Amino acid sequence: MTTPTAALVAYKQKRRLTRSRSIKPWYRNGSLMAGIIIVGLLVLVAVLAPVLAPYNPITQNLEDAIQSPSPAHWLGTDQFGRDVLSRLIWGAQVDLRVGFLAVFIPFVIGSTLGAIAGYFGGWLDTILMRIVDTFFAFPFYVMVIVLVFVFGSGESSIYIAIATVSWVSYARIVRGEVLIAKKQDYVVAARLGGMSHARILVRHIGPNVLSQAIIYAMSDIVMDIMAIVTLGYLGLGIAPPTAEWGSMINDGQQFITTQWQLATIPGLVVVVTSLGLSWLGDGLSDLLSPERRK
């Protein structure tokens, strides 16, 4: 036959890692950086609310009601004399917490179910996906509002309502990704390596499919914050007097002709938050998408 050893020796001598990754570093990614800065600042403000807020956000002071911005109250006061800036700062805590948690729970449930359905297929997949289809048939807001009505207003019922409705998106995204990933030869190779289904799903498929769900989660946080704001606006959200952006917009709109800043400033904060999260999602999708790693 052949004389491979000599050739192999020659081969080895010239062997070196040919392709270095010529990907620009993550900090050179504009939208990712913008997203990190905005979201980071918001999180910082929320965490440091007790230190940053000049006033108690709940204590009423009717003598100072409806004041225009002044050195004492930078953004003025509302109809109960509460400092708007302080309520915005404390509101960040509530809205971001609810936003993140309302995404985290359906993310975990939906991804897990979707991954299992996609990986094992069969009747399990059929049943689960029909359920998902059923949920998708209802408009998001209608479902959330109905569920909050049923469970009663308050933070925990918002979590339950949003989780009940939005896990289906994650299930569908992750299932689709798993269907693609499980056909890859490396999954077959892992099976031939004697690995259990659980190990393959968690260690080999998981990291390759979650990026899409994470990217979606960023835009989902935006949607959930909007939902909370909407619910607050409809009077179904976080019970007053807790500071929350949605109810602030709702309360402020009756004074829109005289004290426009009462509704507009919280509205702007919501817009900036959404923008930050969207950029973060864009940046992450650049960073995590598989073709960058090829």
Rule CB under 8 A: which residues touch another protein?
Answer: 1-5, 7-8, 10-15, 17-22, 184-186, 188-195, 203-204, 207-208, 290, 293-294
Q: Which is nearer to another protein, 18 or 258 (CB)?
A: 18
Q: Which is nearer to another protein, 1 or 51 (CB)?
A: 1
135-173 in b/e burial notation, b at 16+ Cβ within 10 A? Answer: beeeeeeebbbebbeeeebebebbbbbbbbbbbbbbbbb
Q: Which is nearer to another protein, 97 or 197 (CB)?
A: 197
Q: How far is the CB of 291 from another protein (least distance, A)?
A: 10
Classify burial at 92, counting beta carbons within 10 Å of its beta carbon; exposed 0-12, middle 13-18, buried 19 or more.
buried
Query: Cβ distance 208 to 177 under 8 Å?
Result: yes
Q: Which is nearer to another protein, 195 or 226 (CB)?
A: 195
Residue of 226, 213, 228, 236 whose CA lies nearest to 106: 213
Q: How far is the CB of 178 from another protein (least distance, A)?
A: 14
- Using CA atoms, how far apart are residues 257 and 270, in angstroms rounded to an integer? 21
Query: Cβ distance 244 to 238 under 8 Å?
Result: yes
Q: Which is nearer to another protein, 4 or 71 (CB)?
A: 4
What angle in degrees, to the nearest 10, is found between the helix axes of 206-233 and 261-288?
170
- Using CA atoms, how far apart are residues 231 and 227, in angstroms rounded to an integer? 6
- Using CA atoms, how far apart are residues 100 and 222, in angstroms rounded to an integer? 9
Q: How far is the CB of 23 from another protein (least distance, A)?
A: 10
Q: In this structure, what DSSP letter does residue 260 have?
A: T
Q: How far is the CB of 227 from another protein (least distance, A)?
A: 33
Q: Which is nearer to another protein, 19 or 63 (CB)?
A: 19
3-state helix, strand, coil in the chain (%, to 5): 75, 0, 25
Q: Which is nearer to another protein, 20 or 257 (CB)?
A: 20
